[in-house]
Structure 1
Amino acid sequence: MAKYRFEQIAINSTAKKKPTEEDRFTYLGLEHLDSGSLTVTRWGSDVAPKGEKLLMKKGDVLFGKRRAYQKKVAIAPFDGIFSAHGMVLRPNTDVIDPEFFPLFISSDYFLDAAIKISVGSLSPTINWRDLKVLEFDLPDLPAQKKLAKVLWAMNETKDAYKKLISATDELIKSQFMEQFGDPNKADNAVPFEFAFIIRDDLRKPINDATRSDMHENAIYPYYGANGQVDTINEYLMDCTAICLAEDCGSYGPGEASSYIVSGKSWVNNHAHVLIPRECCDIEFANTFFKLLDMREYVSGTTRLKLTQGKMKTIPVILPSLVAQQQFAAFVRQSDKSKFELEQALAELNATYKRIITENLC
């Protein structure tokens, strides 16, 4: 393999324009790029974007240079404009195959090296002057073409898995709406506290001893506001309940804003703890929250927050307990299929990364 500086591999297109009203339809921001996917599935802005934006051509490789640790790389699906917090990259075809180029830019081999030269604390950014001098090993062009063919075939399979996983989520949503109606437009809903007991009596101040028990000794499992571990304002609970994220206003419809916990565990107090009453199946209720668009119930400017008062105003769809349990069984079966697909996707991703590593490092 030969070694090249990045400026010998890629052309950094810096052409810009000030957006017009028409440009909002072909605008791509970093928020439109998904980590781990070269395909763009959403774009556009409600109003014309402010400030100069990069011009992009269909087929260009778009790289998020701001917060590069998010590893956002995609192929431009059309001519348009791209966020100035990114880079528009094109291949130098003398040293890199055009089909292999986006696969190289999205590889951990390239991204990990690029992330290391990010500067800044709040929003670390990669500068071209630093990136262009990084050196990378590349196989010869025939080997790149062969590798690209294998990797793109694997990418197609990965995309197929992702579509099936998304279809599973859509099936649950459509089945819910067919049986019980739109969760955001419930005509026969019950008051929130008819379905749930709100637990807010278990909060305890945290001290060094408590923190040690919670993290280092791991006596009990720990859950953050969104099911992930964090380290502020915890309390100990001992029940089976739904945890509903306080900041669910930043979640879109279908995003998991709730999860089920059972037994003694630490829970961050930025999660509302809800115990379903006898008339309410916990798995059914958890699915209801996942489908509900919470944004109309939150308040705040910099941080959208679901207060307990607003939470109590949420109308809850609550069919018969038998109907709830039947639907919960359907969700469990769907989740089982989804888990199997996710496992297969994870294995494929691991194989994909191994092949790139073996051929580039």
Structure 2
Amino acid sequence: MGKVCLGDVARERRETCRTGGEGLARVGLEHLAPGEVTLAAWEEGTENTFTKMFRKGDILFGRRRAYLKKAAAAPFDGICSGDITVIEAIPGRIDPDLLPFVIQNDALFDFAVGGSAGSLSPRVKWEHLQNYRFELPEMEKQKRLAQMFWSVDRVRKAYKRLLQSTDELVKARFIELFGVPGSDTHGWGLKTLKDCCLLNPQKPKKFKKIPPETRCSFVAMPSVGEKGELDASIIRPYSEVCKGFTYFAENDVLFAKITPCMENGKGAVAKGLCNRLGFGSTEFHVLRPIPGVSDPYWLYAITIFEKFRRDAEKVMTGTGGQRRVPISYLADYAITLPPIDLQERFADFMRQSVRSKAELQQAASDLDAAYRRLLAENLG
């Protein structure tokens, strides 16, 4: 078939709900997950002003901040936010099962970003999106491609479930050994985190003698993941980073304090630092374990519990995108302090989980790269 415009094979649905939407699911921009092909979150029975209809099989495209890459196929009829463009396949022009992959495509998102207008909340209109050009094969090949892409998507979701299960297993093991964070199940007594670790430690005075060319790891916020990943491969000389950045060392715990990184779970145990020394974003709080008192993996595990993050969100200071968790929240957080040998037993378990996750994440990354390559080769 050759090159076509998106508007040749799909159109914007401009249907309005005039019944108040009773009994219909409601989808906001926050329900669209970046990179996900199918809708997995929505609300029911809540009041809002949504009136834009979508039908089963339509694509919900997040037109605000298109760089977030939010677009998903709807598994049912419903109503959605005005910041979502509803796209439907034109019968006979394109296989409806292939359309989600045409749209959930890096090239299309780049095109959308290029046509977005506005500074704080850039939005793209269908009038621009419809001009996106891509390669579309004959219908028979479209069906084969759709089957292949949906099969790949199922495997991607399976990897994601396995990774989530690994995280939940770590939390379950923590509760089994120590009880729910904040409780004193075993009668060890409650302390605060400032009793169990050093918070935001200062550089030692002896650092004044460090040669300026000494190599150390530099960890910016993007180098820390939401599942405990940390990339320590960026190396800088000490003289470049010793001022104006957060200092930390091997085995310290990094906790992202700024929104939305904190809410999303960014944090990690600092491992593999060059010369066991690191500097990074000023938006990290640092928790340093005390030898014989606390283990870094035990400290990190406390910070990954949802309640810990929810409670932290309640005390954030600042406005808009500059809200931060004060260090006082960590300092005063009540926690039972278990024996160090029990913490180390938990750490052994968690290290094994980290290795398993790393293998899963590598496999998932390889699959995702192959998936993106196939999209570009067949629908570019």
* 1:10 pairs with 2:10: yes
The more displaced of 307-316 and 240-249 is: 240-249
1:204-223 alignment, distance < 5 Å: 219-223=215-219
* 1:326 pairs with 2:345: yes
Q: Look up the SS of the partner of 1:309 in the other structure.
A: helix
Gaps of 5+ in 2: 205-211, 225-230, 232-240
Deviation at 1:295, TM superposition (A): 3.0
Letter in 2 for 1:288: I
Q: Look up the SS of the partner of 2:334 in the other structure.
A: coil
Q: Distance in 2 between matches of 1:339 and 1:70?
A: 25
Deviation at 1:349, TM superposition (A): 1.3
1:209 matched to which residue of 2? none
Q: Distance in 2 between matches of 1:257 and 1:19?
A: 46
Choose which of 333, 354, 362 in structure 2 pairs with 1:343: 362
Residues 21 and 47 of structure 1 are in contact (CA less than 8 Å); yes or no, is this contact kept in structure 2? no
Q: Distance in 2 between matches of 1:282 and 1:139?
A: 54
Q: Distance in 2 between matches of 1:238 and 1:176?
A: 25
Q: Look up the SS of the partner of 1:294 in the other structure.
A: helix
Letter in 2 for 1:63: F
Deviation at 1:86, TM superposition (A): 1.2
1:256 matched to which residue of 2? 266
Choose which of 278, 283, 298 in structure 2 pairs with 1:270: 283
Q: Look up the SS of the partner of 2:332 in the other structure.
A: coil
The more displaced of 27-36 and 295-304 is: 295-304
* 1:196 pairs with 2:197: yes
1:134-213 alignment, distance < 5 Å: 134-185=132-183, 188-202=189-203
Distance 1:330 1:112, change over 3 A: same
Distance 1:310 1:357, change over 3 A: closer
* 1:299 pairs with 2:316: yes
Q: Distance in 2 between matches of 1:43 and 1:131?
A: 25
Letter in 1 for 2:8: Q
Residues 242 and 282 of structure 1 are in contact (CA less than 8 Å); yes or no, is this contact kept in structure 2? yes
Q: Distance in 2 between matches of 1:123 and 1:259?
A: 34
Residues 21 and 48 of structure 1 are in contact (CA less than 8 Å); yes or no, is this contact kept in structure 2? no
1:61 matched to which residue of 2? 59
1:207 matched to which residue of 2? none
Q: Deviations over 1:30-53 (max 9, x none)?
A: 21111111133322279522x444
Q: Deviations over 1:318-357 (max 9, x none)?
A: 2111111111111111111111111111111122222222
Q: Look up the SS of the partner of 2:87 in the other structure.
A: strand
Deviation at 1:64, TM superposition (A): 0.8
Q: Distance in 1 between matches of 2:195 and 2:19?
A: 51
Gaps of 5+ in 1: 204-212
Residues 3 and 137 of structure 1 are in contact (CA less than 8 Å); yes or no, is this contact kept in structure 2? yes
Letter in 2 for 1:357: A
Q: Distance in 2 between matches of 1:248 and 1:120?
A: 22
Residues 22 and 45 of structure 2 are in contact (CA less than 8 Å); yes or no, is this contact kept in structure 1? no
Choose which of 285, 301, 321 in structure 2 pairs with 1:287: 301
Deviation at 1:233, TM superposition (A): 4.1
Choose which of 94, 99, 102 in structure 1 pairs with 2:100: 102
Percent identical pairs in the alignment equals 30
Distance 1:218 1:96, change over 3 A: farther
* 1:246 pairs with 2:247: no
Deviation at 1:312, TM superposition (A): 1.4
Q: Distance in 2 between matches of 1:189 and 1:7?
A: 63
Residues 21 and 51 of structure 2 are in contact (CA less than 8 Å); yes or no, is this contact kept in structure 1? no
Distance 1:147 1:236, change over 3 A: same
2:237 matched to which residue of 1? none
Q: Deviations over 1:136-164 (max 9, x none)?
A: 32111111011111111111111111111
Runs of 4+ in 1 over 6 A off after TM superposition: none
Q: Deviations over 1:283-330 (max 9, x none)?
A: 111111122523324233534422122321101232111111111111
Residues 29 and 81 of structure 2 are in contact (CA less than 8 Å); yes or no, is this contact kept in structure 1? yes
2:28 matched to which residue of 1? 29
Residues 255 and 286 of structure 2 are in contact (CA less than 8 Å); yes or no, is this contact kept in structure 1? yes
Q: Distance in 1 between matches of 2:167 and 2:361?
A: 13
Residues 199 and 285 of structure 2 are in contact (CA less than 8 Å); yes or no, is this contact kept in structure 1? yes
Q: Look up the SS of the partner of 1:27 in the other structure.
A: strand
| Matched positions, count | 346
| TM superposition score normalised by structure 1 | 0.85
Residues 39 and 74 of structure 1 are in contact (CA less than 8 Å); yes or no, is this contact kept in structure 2? yes
2:126 matched to which residue of 1? 128
2:228 matched to which residue of 1? none
Q: Distance in 1 between matches of 2:91 and 2:289?
A: 61
Letter in 2 for 1:307: P
The more displaced of 243-252 and 263-272 is: 243-252
Distance 1:286 1:46, change over 3 A: farther
| TM superposition score normalised by structure 2 | 0.81
Distance 1:250 1:266, change over 3 A: closer
